Amino acid sequence: MRYFLELRYLGAAYCGWQRQPDQPSVQQTLERGLTTLLREKIEVTGAGRTDTGVNASYYVAHFDCMKPVADPAQIVYKLNFLLPGDISVWSLTPVADDAHTRFHAREREYRYYIEPHKNPFTRHLTWQYYVPLDLERMNRAAALLLEYEDFTSFAKLNSNNRTNICHVRHAAWTVDERGVLCFTIRADRFLRNMVRSIVGTLVDVGRGRYTPEDFRAIIESRDLSRSSAGAPAQGLFLSDVRYPAEIFTSGLKNHS
């Protein structure tokens, strides 16, 4: 039987999603809890990797087990009891046997938060950046991302990507009543460190180091050395993963 898990987590205490031999990961922590509850060795596959310190306000993982789970809600309750406070599971749903959280994902969404004031309560959740930023310039530059497919300029070196082609479907900055900036970007796939690199470069557009046309030239250069340093990890959240409705046999949030 195959099941999808919906969850969320804070990334500060983890080396990222993916299991590592000598560091704590979200994947490893989930596997330990599920193995304890289901009394068989469970291996979990996630919708994608998140890097060290990156958060997920919405994440999906799948696993297989020998016997059907009689009471998914009870397993969710017990799993949350076993998991540390920075990981929360809220659904366990049976899916088609070939459903895959990574390969069947149609679209992923990330959000990045920048706070213009010092705030001790959100310092682990936002980039607290005090230089004034021109949101209109940043949005003009962000809109250019939709015109391109090759994002080598924002791809971490030595990542063993088969391709640096991504299809960005939305990229825009908004600001809330408290002055917190949010960059939302949606694409079919993302390269390792891509969003943080884009955000860092767009911030340099916003503070006047680059123009929007400079940003275009950086994209077209396909040269990582032309982009800015990546934004800090704590401001980044994986915020959505969308799937075709037909892979579900019941219940999970409709992402069709």
Q: Which residues are catalytic?
A: 51
Nearest Cα to 50, choosing from 192, 248, 218?
192
- DSSP structural state of residue 50: -
Name the percent of the chain in helix, strand, coil, to the closest 5.
30, 25, 45
Task: Report yes or no: 242 and 107 within 8 Å, Cβ to Cβ.
Answer: yes
Nearest Cα to 207, choosing from 125, 116, 143?
116
- Rounded distance, CA 138 to CA 115, Å? 15
Task: Report yes or no: 153 and 198 within 8 Å, Cβ to Cβ.
Answer: no
Task: Tell me the longest C-alpha to C-alpha distance in the chain.
Answer: 59
For the chain, how big is the Rg over CA atoms in Å? 19
Token pair 């250069």: residue: 221
